[in-house]
Copies of this chain bind each other. A is one copy, B any other.
């Protein structure tokens, strides 16, 4: 690439990983964001997303892996399914640890890294007009923001099956939940009511637990999506405890009821989102292109904890293409689209399937309960969402996935 200049809209994980990558490769870059590091740090809980091994490897390559996954990470998924005649409990192990850092620590730290290394960052409101202006001042605009700007990229109908949220969400950071042994993410399913992700998070107060309730509309967990913490802290905490006891016993048994509470008023996030995959790029008035990344490209429900990983992967594909390719034209945009397609749509298709699982996927979860190598393979595929989608897309594929990871006991006996 001859001397060129990249505009990045958004200072989330996609924008920062890309900014740091370009900085490392000496490509001129400017990040535009509407919030300063201080505002992010003192703001409301942003999410509770995990970074899986492949994302941590990119952090290491960028020199921004500040929380050693050996110390801060976790190594498995602890599964519990209730609401069936028999409660199922089982575990799947990762080959390498994953990690969850509160983004109010993570993002300001990476913004600081970027700025300390001489990075340009402009703070202010970003609307469509601002992006058109960037298209005149830069050679490429990467829109890596989930805010209004993303509407410039049209949804892709056949990858966006839903017109409304599939879950109502209540995420919060809590004291009083003992970690599982080995330390893992608790993946709790209460059939008909929703899921709970129990997440060993590093927050500004140190090790804590994030509870992300994924409430099916009309189910008994939905009460948490409407509960008002501000009105009555104790009542809110009791409601959460009651829900844990009723629906998520594997978590509840590690709760110290006396000390259980939301960490603080800003440590709660309630809402809902509609999954969508948008077009990869558009041409701006200047003739330059804007490429979508992160939430501007693909929004997934957090039930699989894949959003940040997909965003970081996408940023890396864009960064490598910028560093290697000869122009930032439509051929460049199509290259980016092609190279990230399997991964990003793998995340989206798999997550949409888990939200409304077909019978063969329910069967897969049942089979995982009885087959640890199978559950390990499914767990490890959190690093390979393209392979995970390939394993759940059809009943035939899931049967083959189960067969591949099943020891042939009959033949051993014989």
Extra A-B contacts (15), CB below 8 Å, given A326-B391, A329-B397, A338-B341: A1-B400, A2-B403, A2-B404, A325-B390, A326-B396, A326-B401, A326-B404, A327-B394, A327-B396, A327-B400, A331-B390, A331-B393, A331-B397, A335-B342, A335-B390
Classify the interface of chain A: helix, strand, loop or mixed.
helix
| Nearest CB in chain B to that of A4: its residue | B400
Report A391 CB to chain B, min CB distance, Å: 6
Cβ-neighbour of A2 out of B2, B327, B390, B400 (below 8 A): B400
In the complex, A390→B331 CA distance in Å? 8
| Nearest CB in chain B to that of A1: its residue | B400
Mark interface residues in A375-399 (1 if CB within 8 Å of B CB, else 0): 0000000000000001101101100
Chain B residues lying within 8 Å of A329, measured Cβ to Cβ, are: 394, 396-397
Q: Give 12 pairs: A residue, B residue, CB < 8 Å, sorted on A.
A: A2-B403, A2-B404, A325-B390, A326-B401, A326-B404, A327-B396, A327-B400, A329-B394, A329-B397, A331-B390, A331-B393, A338-B341
Are A331 and B394 in contact (CB-based, < 8 A)?
Answer: yes
| Nearest CB in chain B to that of A391: its residue | B326
Chain B residues lying within 8 Å of A403, measured Cβ to Cβ, are: 2
Are B331 and A342 in contact (CB-based, < 8 A)?
Answer: no
In the complex, A173→B67 CA distance in Å? 66
**Central interface residue in A327, A331, A391, A393, by most chain B CB within 10 Å:** A327
A324-363 interface with B by 8 A CB criterion: 325-327, 329, 331, 335, 338, 341-342
In the complex, A379→B338 CA distance in Å? 26
